[in-house]
Structure 1
Amino acid sequence: MDKAAAKQKFVDTFGELVEELKTILVQYKMPQEAIDWFVNSLNYNTPGGKLNRGLSVIDTYCILKGISTSDLSEEQYKKVAILGWCIELLQAYFLVADDMMDQSKTRRGQPCWYLVEGVGNIAINDSFMLEGAIYMLLKKHFREDSYYVDLLDLFHEVTFQTELGQLLDLVTADEEVVDLDKFSLLKHSFIVIFKTAYYSFYLPVALAMFMAGITKQSDLKQAQDILIPLGEYFQIQDDYLDCFGTPEQIGKIGTDIKDNKCSWVVNQALLKVTPEQRHLLDTNYGKKDDESEARVKKLFNDLGIEKTYTDYEEEVVGKLRQSIANVDETNGLKKEVFSAFLAKVYKRSK
């Protein structure tokens, strides 16, 4: 099955899940107006985007079982796809709330949910309901499975970890008050590991492992020890592309400099600047005008940040490849799970 067909099959499953969630509201005797609102929120906020996190659950499960997607029974496919959609619901929950906190205008090429006519602050409750939908689906489809509590624990812990990352991001990089003294590579590492790596890289693999019966703590730790550094590398790559990639290349206009983001790029610059260059950063970083952004970008070029990134990339990928080579496959965990993730990330340009 090619990528487009695999994605379409996954998307088709979401329609079934919306109907299941709708039925729960009907059983609660919710008025039709509220049911329609929830269904609209689900469809507007969840299935957009690349769906990489959700699809990764299916891909990982198939690698662990040594089969292709087409070999899965209808029941197997639906269960593993539900776990994938639970991650996409978690992502939707985060994004709806995050867009309100950041006062963002667009998401995935359309207005942010809170800016849709008639929504406004109701989006706060909608974000809660997107998260709640995860646990309704898990209860319906996994309650009789031995790993049900493991799934609940995993989702609760990863959600809290992500919220910790968001908290540090918000208090470190206030868009209204620029203070580069708050920035550090240590803070950046914590933010990206907790805000991105756990739910985007570790969660899909851990979910597939539980469903495949690979539940030993030693195996979960093996996965975490590779996937968390891989997730950090992915986000550093994102920070780099935001500054040095073109809009045609990355599909968006980079805004980290104007948004006063505690990015890897500015933290590397802070390690290299002279007092005069530091003054230039202090007076231009986080400003909303194009001229200030251009001065910062020129400074990044003068400091050789592109070379710093290239050296970092080769070093971290070398370490990741070594870690993957050392994976113990005794209990069913497979090196291919991690090499497949690394192949998607290494040298990506968007």
Structure 2
Amino acid sequence: MSSTKELAKERFLKVFNNAVEELKEVLVSYKMPQEAIDWFVRNLEYNTPGGKLNRGLSVIDTYAILNNTTFDKLSDEEYEKVALLGWSIELLQAYFLVADDMMDQSKTRRGQSCWYLVEGVNNIAINDSFMLEGAIYVLLKKHFRNDPYYVDLLDLFHEVTFQTELGQLLDLVTADENIVDLDKFSLDKHSFIVIFKTAYYSFYLPVALAMFMSGINSEEDLKQVRDILIPLGEYFQIQDDYLDCFGTPEQIGKIGTDIKDNKCSWVINQALLIATPEQRKVLDENYGQKNDESEQICKDLFKSMNIEKIYNDYEESIVAKLRQQIEQIDESRGLKKDVLTAFLGKVYKRSK
């Protein structure tokens, strides 16, 4: 990791520590008993700052590009505000993940036990997830209440939260781990799931927040970025699905589980489109089964069906299309093509 990246992360984490203190003060002002305050702080610190922090840092990167500067040139006051918007997304992500891990009965997250499996937590994690979401609005009110774009921030967070929950709902009802039914899958469903569950909060939200803080708030400009960032977010998730199946654990930092978990992934949907009756029978018998043999049979079948080539062709065509769209961006109201080029650069040909 370059020293600039390390410095950016270090400065960002300082703002989180301040935010935790502020949230703690709110609980103290309510005369909350100390044991409950300590619990909330542990919840915040265990679930929020782990991971790569890409979504939060993207808010700062985008704001800097829109204002012709770099993160280290922003005044402390300006930096703190934009970083708090970044941490608001990280809190939103933490809220989703704590709940998601319970729904999926996952065991680990970001190299540690899932929060609900930590000793003494159990179902309290449900309430803890709500508190992570509530913390967003406490921080927004404290720091943005007097800004003209305050309502825009609230609207955006509420809308994107609901969109993400819709994506999660379709994912849960389509990919029942106990009843494997490949007839429930389709590319249209896959597209809806990934756009709503991932693309809105991971790609559109960071840019829209930075735009509001920069005073760029016309519906035309928001539409321009949405029309590029949503397909880009979909491509990111398709890439994720592809790497889950074809990437190595060393490469992607985890063991892929989509096949065993009966996920409505891009890979299985592509296979279903071209499967012969014999191949379909093999998939029906092996996809979503919890054993290594069935998983390997599916992987070997996907290889023989040339899914890798289908993916590479898709990647090249979507990237060419997105580059063309970025070229046509109207920058007259302050929006900058560089914002979108930077996002595309992070995703194209990534291997983890």
Same topology, TM > 0.5: yes
* Post-superposition offset of 1:13: 1.1
The within-5 A match list for 1:1-350 is 2-350=4-352
Cα deviation, 1:280-311, whole Å, max 9, x if unaligned, reads 00000000110000000011011100000000
Give, in whole Å, the separation in 2 of the partners of 1:73 and 1:4. Answer: 19
* Post-superposition offset of 1:278: 0.3
Give, in whole Å, the separation in 2 of the partners of 1:118 and 1:198. Answer: 34
Cα deviation, 1:108-129, whole Å, max 9, x if unaligned, reads 0000000000000000000000
Give, in whole Å, the separation in 1 of the partners of 2:101 and 2:251. Answer: 24
**One-letter identity of the residue aligned with 2:323:** R
Give, in whole Å, the separation in 2 of the partners of 1:133 and 1:37. Answer: 14
- What is the TM-score when the length of structure 1 is the normalising length? 1.00
Give, in whole Å, the separation in 1 of the partners of 2:71 and 2:260. Answer: 43
Give, in whole Å, the separation in 1 of the partners of 2:305 and 2:39. Answer: 51
**One-letter identity of the residue aligned with 1:75:** E
Runs ≥4 in structure 1, deviation > 4 angstroms? none
* Post-superposition offset of 1:8: 1.1
Give, in whole Å, the separation in 1 of the partners of 2:281 and 2:349. Answer: 33
Task: Structure 1: give runs of 5+ residues left out of the alignment.
Answer: none
* Post-superposition offset of 1:180: 0.3
**One-letter identity of the residue aligned with 1:320:** L
Give the total of aligned pairs: 350
Give, in whole Å, the separation in 2 of the partners of 1:347 and 1:263. Answer: 19
Cα deviation, 1:188-223, whole Å, max 9, x if unaligned, reads 000000000000000000000000000000000001
Give me the CA root mean square deviation: 0.5
Query: Could you tell me the percent identity over the aligned residues?
Result: 78
Give, in whole Å, the separation in 1 of the partners of 2:65 and 2:174. Answer: 39
* Post-superposition offset of 1:177: 0.6
Give, in whole Å, the separation in 2 of the partners of 1:70 and 1:281. Answer: 52
- What is the TM-score when the length of structure 2 is the normalising length? 0.99
**One-letter identity of the residue aligned with 2:342:** A
**One-letter identity of the residue aligned with 1:248:** E
Give, in whole Å, the separation in 1 of the partners of 2:266 and 2:72. Answer: 41
Give, in whole Å, the separation in 2 of the partners of 1:291 and 1:71. Answer: 55
**One-letter identity of the residue aligned with 2:204:** Y
